[in-house]
Amino acid sequence: MLIDKVDIVVRSGAGGNGCVSFHREKYVSHGGPDGGDGGRGGDVIFRVDEGDNTLLKYRYHRKFKAENGENGKASKMHGKNGASIYLDVPPGTVIRDKESGKVLFDMSRDGTFVAAKGGRGGFGNRHFATSTRQTPRFAKLGGEAVERELTLELKMLADVGLVGFPNAGKSTVLSCVSAARPKIADYAFTTLEPMLGVVKVNDEGAGYVVADLPGLIEGAGEGVGLGTRFLKHIDRCRVLWHVVDLLEETDPVERLEKINYELSVYDPELPKRLQIVVGNKCDFEESAENREKLEAYCHEKSVEFFAISALQRDGLAPLVHRTYELLQTLPPLTVYEPEITAEELDYKPETSIEVSRDDDGAYVVTGPHLERFLYTINPDDRESMMYFQRTLNKIGVIAALRDAGIEEGDTVRIYDVEFDYVP
């Protein structure tokens, strides 16, 4: 079963918290701070699995979480880093942000993609020791985990795409030019999912990939029948083999134009793509008239035409070699450039401070990372509170309060912390 589009949720690991600890040893009465740092959270990483061609594994298992980093420990012991998780996807998978629909990464290229970075480990209290603050009773929290909703969409990597009405002989053509073995029968919609085959051109290994796409019908560009579900797999194809059944009683030119119209409805650029018209079943006498009509039309439109008999394997070699020659002159497969980076999705200016007035007249301060910062503060420790005040001034909270018109003695509320303002 081909599953080519799924929505998943990924979550990186949170960083471990720094430790508050002081050295304890016999005969050492005043050991200094020795709190270790927290471990880094694990990443969520995508990588290409060349042997896969479906997103089936993500149909029922849709939530993935990396391991959190361990908290720091006493004696300067660093917490263990969280394990990253690797998600394997077929080549050609496009990763998008679900909410915006923008491309984050195209897995057509080599390498890996980090979709969610793990949180950094927090510093232990030994990092906050100075000549004037020798016993810091606070440490830094680990970085938060990143959760992201993603859409995985598979767009097959094929140089050539086979298009045409049902039962035009596309699957037979693919089975004759490659080692692929698609289902072949004499009824419409035999092919229910795209099939890939590698065409070998010579003994030196030269070749290209052909995709057999399920037959199109009128209205396919708007989703009728198998519709747009499979049209998207043509997006990367550099050449289209338009297979026309020469034995059909209806006008072959009319059928050719109908399919091209459906392609244009889906994407106006598709009909402009290099196209080779392949007249199939030319070994029958009844096909002669349709062959002449279609060949004349292609000559008029400057479109290359090949008459073949897929069943008899007649005329396939010239088609295969001519396609290979054309592919050498065309740009490489399309690779979708990122429209937004993972870092841009996560970006929140730390200096963005909002000040408002509550019903009781208190000044309410909110801003990114402020709530987590409060957890690092020990309100019963004088040095910790001094560090708290200096940090508020450093990140612009005090300046924002002054701009809002705060006066001495006014109440300031930052999430669960409340205090009187003293300039």
Reference 293, options 164, 239, 241, 301; nearest CA is: 301
pLDDT given at position 264: 84
Locate 397 and state its tokens. 């909270």
Residue-range domains of the chain with CATH: 1-154 (2.70.210.12), 160-327 (3.40.50.300), 349-420 (3.30.300.350)
Q: What is the mean pLDDT of residues 178-186?
A: 62
Q: Which two tokens stand for residue 181?
A: 């073995």
Q: Which of 186-195, 273-282, 301-310, 338-347 is predicted least confidently?
A: 186-195
Is 2 a residue whose pLDDT tops 50?
Answer: yes
Average pLDDT, the chain: 84
Mean pLDDT of 340-347: 75
Q: What dihedral angle (degrees, nearest 10) is formed by the CA atoms of 405, 410, 414, 418?
A: 170
- Among 115-119, 165-169, 310-314, where is mean pLDDT lowest? 165-169
Residue 350 has a pLDDT of 52
3-state per-residue secondary structure call for 290-333 = HHHHHHHHHHHCCCEEEECECCCCECHHHHHHHHHHHHCCCCCC
Q: Which residues contact 291 (CB under 8 A, 6 or more apart)?
A: 246, 279, 282, 307
Chain segment 261-301, per-residue pLDDT in tens: 888 887 888 878 899 999 998 988 888 999 999 999 999 99
Top mean pLDDT of 123-127, 167-171, 178-182, 418-422 is at 123-127
Whole-model pTM?
0.75
Sequence-distant (≥ 6) Cβ neighbours of residue 163 within 8 angstroms: 170, 213, 216, 234, 240, 241, 242, 243, 259, 263
Work out the average pLDDT over 188-193. 52
17-28: pLDDT as tens digits: 999 899 888 887
pLDDT tens across 203-219, in order?
A: 777 889 888 877 565 44
Residue 224 is predicted with a pLDDT of: 43
Confidence class for position 225, pLDDT limits 50, 70, 90: very low
Closest CA to 243 of 252, 231, 235, 234: 252
Q: Residue 46 has what pLDDT? A: 96
Residue 77 predicted with pLDDT over 90? yes
Is the per-residue pLDDT at 183 higher than 60? no
Query: pLDDT tens across 98-145, in order?
Result: 999 999 999 987 679 999 999 999 999 898 888 878 888 888 888 889
> d(Cα 93, Cα 106) in Å, to the nearest integer?
6
**Tokens at residue 278, please?**
């392949």
Q: Which residues of 20-51 are buried (b: 16+ CB within 10 A; e: fewer)?
A: bbbeeeeeeeeeebbbbbbbbbbbbbbebeee
Q: Which of 375, 402, 419, 309 is nearest to 143 (CA)?
A: 375
> Is there a contact between 9 and 62 (Cβ–Cβ < 8 Å)?
yes
